[in-house]
Structure formats: C-alpha cells, structure tokens
Structure 1
C-alpha cells in the first residue's frame, strides 16, 4: 500500500491542549439531537426525496420527539424551498419544534433562505457555513486566512441585516472541515461571528464544529472540541454543536467523546445516511445512552416503523447487522449464545417473581442482548426462536440451491414459521419441491386467482417530465391512467389507489426461478395491511408482469376486487 502518500493528522493540526478533562467525564443526560436527514442526508441520495417522502420523514421525527430539525437547503432547490414554505403555511410543525435552514455565506442565497422562512411561527435557526481548512482555502476558495475571514463576516452581516430583526430567528455558524482547520484560526473566526451576532444566554449562537471528513482517531476530535469549549469567547452565549461524519468508521465514538469534551448538541442522521460513509447515526447514539440507563429523550418504542419510514424516504435498506434496528441484531445462531439467552430470560422472569414486580421494571441483564427488544417494540419471538434460526437458513439454502430463489431475510423468517407449522402438522421432513409448493401456496395464491393482466405500459419524457402510461385488466375490467415522474410499480399502485385500494409497499425484491433452460422472474413484495407487514409474490417470464401481478395480489388482500362473470 502506498501509505507514504498520506500525512498523519498530527502534522496537519496540532491541538494546543496539554491537559484534558474529557477522559474523566461521564454521561449524565442526553445532548440536544438535531437530525439533518432532510438536508445533509437528502443531498447524499441518488434520488433526493420528493415532497411526500420528505413530509413523511419530517412527521416521523416530530412523533419521535425531536425538538430541532434541519429541514432543508432552500436556496439549493425548489423542492427544498417549497418544503420550508409548507411549514410556514401549514401546522405540520408543532410550536415547540425549532426549524433549521441551511445556507452558504453568499448574499443572494441568504436572501432566498430568509424569504423561505418568512411567516414561520416556530423558532427558526439560520445555519450559515463556509469551509475554513487550508486545503479548502487554497484549492476550492482561493483565499488566504484574512480574505476568508472577511468573506465569512460579510455573510454574517448579510444574515444580520436580513434576519436580525426577526424575534424568532437565531443564528448558527459552521466552519466546515473544522477538524482540519488550525485551532487558532477557527477560534478567531468563531469569536468574530459570536461578536458580530452578539451571542448572549438569552439569544445564543450555535457554533457547529463538523468533522466534515473524518481523518483522525476520536481522541483528537475530543481534544479539538475541549480546546474550543475552554477558549471560546462569550461561552455562556454559545451552544457548542458537533457534526461528525464516518469516513474512518468511528463517527459514533467521535460524537460521544465530543459530548464528554463539552459539546451540547449533536447533528446527524437516523441510521447514519449521508455523504460517502455517512453522518453520525443519531439512533445508535441515543440508544447507547438508553443502554446506560440515561433517557435519550427520543421515542424508539416502535423501531421497525421508524426503519420502514426511513427506508421508504431514503430508498436505502438498513443493513441487517445495523446496531439496534437490523433484522439480525437480536438473533443468535451459535448454540452457546442460544443457551445463554434462554437462561437469561428464565433468570429474568424468576427475579420478577421474587421481587413481585413486572418484568418490564426489572434490571435488564440477559446475556448477549444489551437492551430488552421490547423497549423497541419488538416481540421476543425472534429471540426465543433462535434455536430455529439455522432451520430458517436451511430452508433458504434449499430454495436457492434447487431453484435459484433468494429470499429476503424478513421473508425467510415469515416463511420459516409457515414451514414449521406444516412440519408440525405432518411430522414429516419437507424436501425442496415441497418447500416450493408451500411457498407458492402461501404467497402466490393470496387473495384468489382472478384475472390480472398488464395490457400496456409506456414511458416517455417530454419537456423534462417523465410520464408512465399503464393499462391493466382485472377480472375482465380494464383500467388505465398516466402518471408523471413515477416508475411502473408506482403507476400501478396509483391506478389502484384511484379505485380506493391503497397498497403501501414496504419493500420489493426481484428473484428468479430456474428450471433447466427455462427461467422465470419472481417478484417478492412486502406490504402493509391492517394486521401489519405481509408478503406476496408474482411469477412470470417477464419481470414487469411478475411485479404487477404481485402488486395486484397485495391489493386483493386489502380490498377484494370485484369478479366479473365469464
């Protein structure tokens, strides 16, 4: 590896801190959490959120209890501007939620940003940023320290002129790439901004110190934060904030040590979405506190609904091993782990009986499970059934080895339960052919077998607008419609919705069934009905027809379609 091409961080940023207090500090309360999913996370998506997805995500964060939310970059796109105006013109933001908007230090963009927040009744934070690190100064901005300071102060004066008179508006400044900026310079710039904006305890200024590109071990970031915490002017008028990224995979540690070093506020994303390797994960940070007996002040009691909404809005799946939320985090395959967990549950129940208190009030100390799955709205079924996890894997292996069908993890769990019921009722072993037969019975026969046929599908683009026209025949009746900026599956769901049937798709997976020289497409679709998440499948030589068939079968379980006599 050509490691000689890189410099260690100590030769780039030397923190003038000879002693440090943060190693002896302990967590006693949660910091202020500020999700930036709708801005920083959104700009990192290959398909940025449309208004519906953005609103659903915002409403989720409000329900979870976040009191300060960065909602967009209104000068960067019309979609972001319109969403901020939606907040101004409706009541989707409760009065106790602070709205944050993001802007560069450029007058015309600041004007656009201030215009977007006019009429918002909530407290508003205008968040201005400029990169300050040497490489950015030299390569990107072409300014020395003095010239960059003047650019930043000019932007700060514009913010003050345009919004300083608004009583519900406060200010935030981010020296982007703080962690690669000389400590004396970033301190100089931050003090200049708090002086310009007259930071006071009654109207504090937020100084956000981002590890925009993570380049050092977490202790270095903690030293940098403690240096600023100790030396900032007007410290009692400053809310010290951090914004770690995860380039080295230590964003969580950086945020935790930064809070121990004096940070009061943490910006990040739910499940860590963001540029490159992502922003720090606010869910993991908060639940780490929960696991230490500290109230994170955010409601995670339905973690699966949170995950579904985030996956829907981001169009990114959460990894099955993701801390706390992944499908496999409460699952043990090892026999020794399974035995310890079962004994832990038994001991927990016994302590509850001895103490005469509900199990939910007893100290949690079950081996291999750092927190009680029930705290997150999960049942104990997956944990108690860990003995059968290898059975789930065997079922999935047989279907894949014999027919090439790869089942998503959550479908593996659902199907394994049905296989177990069949095995218990017959007392016999099921081979691969019987598994396929049972699979088709359980997921391909859902809602009956009325006629479902895709008649036409056409996608075209005109004047920058993509249009999808679709026509289907269901039980002899033809239905058609044309939709803008949606794909084929979304077009079919829209067409069904017009008939009063709302199919809410959680996930859609494509597989195939190989039989000799023949190969058929298999669509596996997870959707929600009144009982929760369910699965159906569609199968055809055409991937598109298989997908449409799956959507129509899901529709039949929600509201049976009227059959037309032959």
Structure 2
C-alpha cells in the first residue's frame, strides 16, 4: 500500500484572495504564444534534435504563426550556441518573429548568451533564478536579500550589454523559478526589483514569467497566485505577465486557462506538451480549446496532420492516438451508441449555425481531418457507425431495419475474426450478404411489357444452374417479378421496398441506383416446412433502377431460400 500521504506531503494553502475575480471571467482573446519546443522541449528528448530537425521545427513554428520562439540555451552547449548564430547569420528569422534564449543568472553564462545574439534584429533574453525557500536554504544557501541581489545583478548586466548593441531591439524576460512554491510576498519583491533595475516602461515592457516549474497545487491555486500578482505588481502597465505551466499533476492546460482568466497575457509551452518530466503545457490543446469557444487563437492548425508528422520527425516522439484534437483516434468512434449519435448529428447539422454534432467538440474538417476516420468498426460498434461508413464511402443509404440486421452480421464477423473492420471490408461483407447471393437463383436478363393497367415481365434466370424464362404480370415490375416466381413454386411476399440514388463518386463510377427489397415467404411456406420464417433483405445496384430492383428481389429470395426449405420448383426450360 501507499504510505500515509498526510504525514509525508503537505497541501498548499489557498491564497488570501477573498474577492477573486477570475472564476466569473472568460477568455475572450488569445494570449501571446511562445514556443519552447526548441529549448525546453528539446532538452527533454532522448536524443536532442540535430541542426536539420531544429531548423525544420523552427520553420514550422513560424509557419503556424508563432511570433516568439525560444530557440536555445546558448550557454549550455556549443550546439545550441551555433544554432542561434546560424539563424541570425543565415537570415532565417522572419522580420515579425522574435527569438528568445534562456540563461541562468550568472555572469559568464549571461555574457556567452548575449554573444550568441550579436546582430539579431530583435531578441528576448530570458534570465532566471530559483526563489523558493527549499532552493534558498538547501540548494543555494542564500538569504532572501541575496536572492534578490542575484536577480538584480543579472538584469543590470544584461541591460549594460544590451546598451552596447543598439542594433538589436532587446526585451527582458525574468522568471522567478519555482514561483508556485515561493512565498507570494517574496515573489513580488523580486519581480518589482527586476522591473526597477531594467527601468520598465509602457514602451519597454518586461516579461515577468511566473512558472509552475513543478505543479504543486490545484489549478485554482495557480490562478489565485497570478491574480494576486496581477493586482500587486508595481509598474503593472510596464509588465507582461507570462505563464510557463508544467504538467506534473496533469493539469497544465487547466492551470493555463484559469491563469489567463486571472490576468496573464502570455503563455509558454510546447506544441504537444513535451518538456522536462511530464512536460510543458500543450499549446495545441490550449489553442484549440480557445477555438472551440469561439476565440480565434492566432495559430494556424488547419492542417493538424502535417504539424503532427513534422513534430514526430523532429522530436522522434510519438503522439498518443487519443491526444486531444490531433491523435489518430480522437475523431474515431467505435462505440455503437456514439456512432449512431454522430451519424444523426451529421445528417441534420446545418451550415448556418453553431457546431453541435454529438461527441465531436470540433469539426474535424477545421483541422484538416477527413470524415472517413470519424467512425470505425470493431466489436464495440453498432448500426450507426456501419451505416455511416457505407453511406460516406460507397453511397449506400440502408433502411433502418437493414441497419439493425447488418450490424448483427458485422458483429458476428468481428467476434469470429477480431480486430477492426475497414470500410472496404464492411462493403465486401455487405456485398457477399446482400448483393452477391448467386445461389440458387442467378439473374441473367429481363424485359418489361405493358399489360392492361399493369406491368408484365419476362425474366431470364438460372435456378440451380438451369436456365429458366419466367413470366408474370402485376401492378409494377417488382409485383410482376413476384408473380413470375410464383409460376415456378417460389412463393414470396414483398414487405418493403426502397430505392436510393448512389453518389456519382461511389467506387469511382457513374451515378447508380441502389434498391432494397424486404421479402418473406408466402403463406404456407416457412416455419411449417421446417425452415426459419421471417423477413429477409436483398439489395441490388445498377445504373437502371428496375434492374437494381429485380436484383434486390432475387437476392432477397436467395437469402430466404437459404434459410427456408421450399419445394423444388418445377424445371422449365427456357
């Protein structure tokens, strides 16, 4: 058993903020986004990205619409230093993109970092030092005053070096690392000292990045901390409050959303949430969460598959198939009840109102996903999903009772063979069950003729391999064909008949018709003869609707014949 947590872990107390405002707010505009995929995300990889992969990732981030990108920790390695130099000297940075680099608050590291940025048009220098009591006492052995001095000294040095390079537009970013575990009054003291040392103004704002370096409390606590800082900071009009949520408790997205409601204006994270330990906040999820609430995120994820594949190539990390919005299975329903609801939702979804398809919080088409992956069939599936696949892939719109019947056929197949069934496999099973029932009756040809107020038919068929020419009259082609079969002792009743136009694109051919005929044995034939009574569907597909209907009738009779023992028809040579 787990040890008693009450004696081992402390619960962080709530913030003294009785009149908190964030719970009643909503996000109405996107934050400034900053991608740290090339730094924090890259540090977390088994094998860090090489130059080709880093460059490909950088270009993709620019294409998505990021205007601030943390590209390296240049003082940490020659590789990172050289990558920053390559971006600048190769003129790879778009004019509207600011690169960002990270450094610890140490003089030699700061000098090396500033050296890497020589010649950049604009740059963000992100400096940090830990501020929480465990770090002050255990890691650094410093007092509060010494920690403040470390931060202020670093900022003054960066300001001095920046003044010597006026060709670059400099922005300072400061992080009190371990902010969420730092006493709020001390975090405020450090941040105010930093903005004073830089000389922050509304025209030269300092980014104060308040990270959940390690998630230590529930997201509402983080929101309270952000709102408290938002209210108490000096020079608030000269400060941008930034978030850098990690995901140790699995609540980074929630923490970021609540903190934006609390007054933050900027978010740092990685596309799909990779990063140290459990990762940084997932920017794709965060941005598309805004999108589904009617807020344009300012990032282009209209081809989410391309973004995902590039990320996987560059990071060598797989994206989970159930990852929000982008996983291969997130728009896929195997459950029968889900499939039925989605199918019905698509059928009635108007184009001039809000999206409201059950189980789909976002239109898959908005992120470049096709509808063919929405419904997939396995042993958990039902009639709705099967019907949807046949309709979208093959243009076959089944009657509802046939949906119920065929779902049982599919279920038995999957139970026997296991795994998942593709649309092509479902179509093959549908054809074998309802279309290609060649025994005992095989259609060859038919000719219609007028007969009084009705319709006559001459029907050429093979019965048990023997050619027959049958004749009958009725109130239409189907009724006439029923009477034609009665002439050779095959008694059948038509319980229902439906016809549908198939999509011209189905199977790549021209427009065709699909007919469905539901038949039952005529009175006196069926259970009393030792077979199974009931209704049997047949289907027919042809460019000619009459031919499709006759085919459906014959296929229905064949299915009935295979289940009901009837008298052998009198052989009549053609």
- TM-score bucket (shorter structure): 0.5 to 0.7
The residue number in structure 1 matching 2:370 is 379
Between the aligned partners of 1:151 and 1:130, the Cα distance in structure 2 is 8
SS of aligned partner of 1:209: strand
Between the aligned partners of 1:425 and 1:340, the Cα distance in structure 2 is 26
1:8-47 matches, within 5 Å, as: 8-10=10-12, 15-47=15-47
Between the aligned partners of 1:46 and 1:5, the Cα distance in structure 2 is 36
Between the aligned partners of 1:198 and 1:392, the Cα distance in structure 2 is 71
The residue number in structure 2 matching 1:250 is 251
- Higher deviation after alignment, 142-151 or 103-112: 142-151
1:501-540 matches, within 5 Å, as: none
* Offset, 1:364: 0.8
The alignment's C-alpha RMSD in Å is: 2.4
In the alignment, structure 1 segments of 5+ residues that lack a partner are 352-358, 401-411, 429-566
Say if 1:394 and 1:188 are closer, same or farther in 2 by CA, change over 3 A.
farther
1:110-509 matches, within 5 Å, as: 110-121=110-121, 123-165=122-164, 166=166, 167-348=168-349, 351=350, 359=351, 362-385=353-376, 387-388=385-386, 398=417, 416-417=422-423, 419-420=425-426, 423=429
Q: How big is each residue's C-alpha offset from its partner over 1:371-396, in whole Å with a ceiling of 9 and x where there is no partner?
A: 10000001111125552599799879
* Offset, 1:425: 6.8
SS of aligned partner of 2:174: strand
Between the aligned partners of 2:418 and 2:224, the Cα distance in structure 1 is 54
In the alignment, structure 2 segments of 5+ residues that lack a partner are 378-384, 390-406, 435-574
* Offset, 1:7: 3.6
Name the TM-score, length of structure 1 as normaliser.
Answer: 0.68
* Offset, 1:313: 1.2
8 Å contact kept, 2:333–2:375 = no
* Offset, 1:363: 2.1
SS of aligned partner of 2:69: strand
Q: How big is each residue's C-alpha offset from its partner over 1:122-165, in whole Å with a ceiling of 9 and x where there is no partner?
A: x2100001011111112221212111111221211211111144
SS of aligned partner of 1:69: strand
Q: How big is each residue's C-alpha offset from its partner over 1:323-345, in whole Å with a ceiling of 9 and x where there is no partner?
A: 10111111111111111101100
SS of aligned partner of 2:305: helix
Say if 1:100 and 1:424 are closer, same or farther in 2 by CA, change over 3 A.
same
* Offset, 1:91: 2.7
Say if 1:141 and 1:326 are closer, same or farther in 2 by CA, change over 3 A.
same
SS of aligned partner of 1:224: helix
* Offset, 1:230: 0.4
SS of aligned partner of 1:47: coil
- Higher deviation after alignment, 328-337 or 2-11: 2-11
Q: How big is each residue's C-alpha offset from its partner over 1:240-282, in whole Å with a ceiling of 9 and x where there is no partner?
A: 0011111111111100010000000001111100111111101
The residue number in structure 1 matching 2:83 is 83
- Is 2:62 aligned against 1:62? yes
8 Å contact kept, 2:334–2:375 = no
Q: How big is each residue's C-alpha offset from its partner over 1:79-134, in whole Å with a ceiling of 9 and x where there is no partner?
A: 2111111111123221001111100011111111111111112x210000101111
* Offset, 1:397: 9.6
Say if 1:291 and 1:154 are closer, same or farther in 2 by CA, change over 3 A.
same
Between the aligned partners of 2:430 and 2:336, the Cα distance in structure 1 is 22
Say if 1:419 and 1:236 are closer, same or farther in 2 by CA, change over 3 A.
same
* Offset, 1:227: 0.6
Between the aligned partners of 1:321 and 1:383, the Cα distance in structure 2 is 13
SS of aligned partner of 1:272: coil
Between the aligned partners of 1:276 and 1:235, the Cα distance in structure 2 is 33
* Offset, 1:9: 3.6
Higher gyration radius (CA): 2
Say if 1:419 and 1:78 are closer, same or farther in 2 by CA, change over 3 A.
farther
Matched residue count: 403
Say if 1:336 and 1:35 are closer, same or farther in 2 by CA, change over 3 A.
same
Between the aligned partners of 2:325 and 2:412, the Cα distance in structure 1 is 22
- Higher deviation after alignment, 154-163 or 244-253: 154-163
* Offset, 1:286: 0.5
